[in-house]
Each structure stands twice: as structure tokens, then as C-alpha cells.
Amino acid sequence: MSKVVERFLKYVTYNTQSDEESSTVPSTEGQLVFARALKEELEAIGLKEVSLDEKGYLMATLESNLGEDKEVPTIGFIAHMDTSPDMSGENVKTQLIKNYDGGDIVLNEEEGIILSPLDFPELKDYVGRDIITTDGTTLLGADDKAGIAEIITAMEYLLENPEIKHGRIRIGFTPDEEIGRGADFFDVKKFAADLAYTVDGGPLGELEYENFNAAAARISIKGTSVHPGTAKGKMVNSLLIASELINKLPAEETPAETEGYEGFYHLVSVKGNVEETKLYYIIRDFDKINFIKRKTNLEEIVQDLNKKYDRARIQLKITDQYYNMKEIIENNKEIIDTAYQAMEEIGIRPLITPIRGGTDGARLSYMGLPTPNIFTGGHNFHGKYEFIPVFAMEKAVELIVKIAELYGQKGR
């Protein structure tokens, strides 16, 4: 197996699931354990300026081999170390499906968990390829340990092949991206790159520089709980108010009903009883005006419901999380053009698609570091059906090397 696969299979054994309820940075100790191991590896392969801070941000440098008389942009490659809280990342057991035959893949015979092309037709694109899957009990962790493995393997390849000319390259690995905090303490000045790419995308060829505008909405509803036998005229059931609120949002504007550039309201969790119910929503839209309208709509629904009841029983807090990086990247289109050219030169058909989500790059772009996103090769992130084709990982390594080479040719 190639080095990138060996690295990936090692990395997924680390439990780095982030925790939104935690107030620490990083949110889980497992991320620091993984970061320390990566730091040792980066030093061992020969990278310079390797640093790991107390918050779990790991950075390193591959020095330019162009000579002092050539100045080219310093480029960065960034990935995140945490895995999603949506499903366990502990005790990940991988399966390597050699020469996939196009049929069902039994992930877990005991539980009857099957990865089937009937449910995931994209599997048919990988007939004859080697595929890495889970055993059906955890997520895989290709989001984003595949990105980390690909970046490190590319850096090692450049070190071992000095005939490939490149400028100064910075790499950065962040914690807590999956809970929206990956860029919170990212030191853009210390990173000192002119531009960067997150290696955090999905299938082969993805090249992304548009993402959702994103907000989180936390709603607290206070009820009045009394014995149901004497509740007439007294009880106010917060669960029923929550149901009212949910039903006032458009049913067709949810993740399951939208695609492409369509935005949504997503009810992430409901926790409650008669006395108190808490709702957690995320709000997403590519268009800034529609994004504002969505937030306003939710605010007006809460205001109307508060008027209906004897007092203001609903509290709403909306917090913006990140914004669409498109307007930043479009002022730096060379970043996209170079990645596009690199893909074509190594035989990949570029797929420029909007990110129906966000990356660290979205926030970093607004912090002064234009950072679009390129593929890792993975599919079905955040769940037990996650898989990644081996050849796609190898192509990601090749792409990183080619991007570095193309930037090494600029400014000559």
C-alpha cells in the first residue's frame, strides 16, 4: 500500500471526536494526543519550524528550493484533526475492499449493515478500485484525516524529490473544525502564507470556493408545569409551543428537501419537557440577502408566538458562524485557476461545486488568508457508511505536489 494509505489507517486509530458542549480548546484531549504524534512525524520527515501550541494548532514549513533570487508566493495546505460529533470516532476498525466488484459491501454482518450501490450509486464509479470502509460501528474519519495524510505524504514526496521546484510551503492542522471553532485561534500572521488550500473536500475533483453563510439559533421555551389532573387554565406545555414554532418554518426548506444553491433551516436537536424545551437550529444560505431574511423570519416567528402567550416565553439567540468565501476568492482568482490547471495536468476533471457546509477556509478567507477547498476523495462523511477510494487519496497527493510545482514556476 502507498504511504498515504498507511498513514491514513494509522491516523484513524486516534479518537479525535470534538465536543460542542466542551469549553476547553481543543474541545477534547484526544485531539492533542493526535497533534503531538503528528508533530513528531513532521519533525522526523524533515520539515522545519514545527510548532504545536497549547490550543492544538500545529504548523510546519517546507522551505523553498528555488534559490534566493526567486520570489514566489508562500502557499499553505490546511486540514483539521477532529472528527464529527455526529457519530463515534472511537475504536475505528477499517476494511480494505480490494478490487471492488460493484456489489453490496457487508460492513457488519452481525448488525446487518450494508454499504450498497442501491443506496449510494456513486459506488459504481469505483468498480475495480480499492476502497476503504468502516466496520459499520463508527465513522471512518476521512473527514479530515485523509486530508492530513495527503498533505504530509505530499510534503515528504517533495523532500525526497528535490528536482521538483517549489516555493516556501506552510502546512497547518487545526482542532475543532467540526464544531465551527477551527479558525478561532488560528494565527494567520504566524502562518505567514499568501494563500492556502484546505484539503477537506469530498469526491475526486472537487474544487470549492463558495460555501454557505451560516448561523446557529438557540431557542429556549419556558412552560408552566402543574399536575395534569388540575391543569385546566394553568398548564402551558413548552413542548407544544416548540411544535408550533417548528411547524411555522417551511417544511420544504430543510436539508432533506434542498440541494445545490438552496438554503435551509435544520433542526439539529430538541431537548425538553413540559417545563422547558430547548431547540437548536442551524441556518444556511449561499445568498447574503436570503441569509438575513431567514434569520429575520425566525425572529418574527418568535415575536408572534410570544405575543400569543401570557408572557414572553421564548428566548432566541442567533449567532453568525461563518460567511460565504466567494467574494474573497473572486478577488484572488489565481488560486482557483492554479488548482484547476493542476487538476487538468494530472488527468483529473475539475468539479467546481458549492460547499453545502463550511470549512476552516471560509473563516480564514475573511481573516486575510484566501483559502478555497480541494478534495480528499472521501464520501458519506460523518456516518458509518463513510468510504474513500485509495486511488483518490493518491491523486490528492499528486494534486498537492502539482500545485506546489506550479506556484514554484510563478514569478520567474
Provide the 8-state DSSP code for 262: -
- Interstrand relation of 373-375 and 195-201 (parallel, antiparallel or unpaired): parallel
For residue 3, give the C-alpha cell. 504511504
Q: Tell me, yes or no, if 82 is annotated catalytic.
A: yes
Radius of gyration for the chain, computed over Cα atoms and rounded to the nearest angstrom: 23
| CA 88/CA 109 separation, integer angstroms | 19
Name the nearest CA neighbour of 149 among 50, 16, 10. Answer: 10
| CA 63/CA 58 separation, integer angstroms | 17
For residue 254, give the C-alpha cell. 430543510
Catalytic, out of 82, 135, 144, 253: 82
Max CA-CA distance within the chain? 86
Would you give the distance in Å from CA 119 to the centre of its chain? 23
For residue 116, give the C-alpha cell. 450498497
For residue 358, give the C-alpha cell. 463550511
CB 402 within 8 A of CB 239: no
- Interstrand relation of 276-285 and 264-272 (parallel, antiparallel or unpaired): antiparallel
| CA 404/CA 170 separation, integer angstroms | 11
Count H helices and E strands in the chain, helices first: 10, 17
Under DSSP, is residue 402 helix (H, G, I), strand (E, B) or coil?
A: helix
Beta bridge partners of 48: 61
CB 362 within 8 A of CB 325: yes
Catalytic, out of 135, 144, 150, 177: 177
The pair phi, psi for residue 294, each rounded to 5°, is -65, -45
Instruction: Please name the helix (run of DSSP H) or strand (run of DSSP E) that holds residue 300, with its range, or none.
Output: helix 288-308
**Site of grid cell 494509522:** 10
Under DSSP, is residue 234 helix (H, G, I), strand (E, B) or coil?
A: coil
| CA 10/CA 131 separation, integer angstroms | 16
Catalytic residues: 82, 177
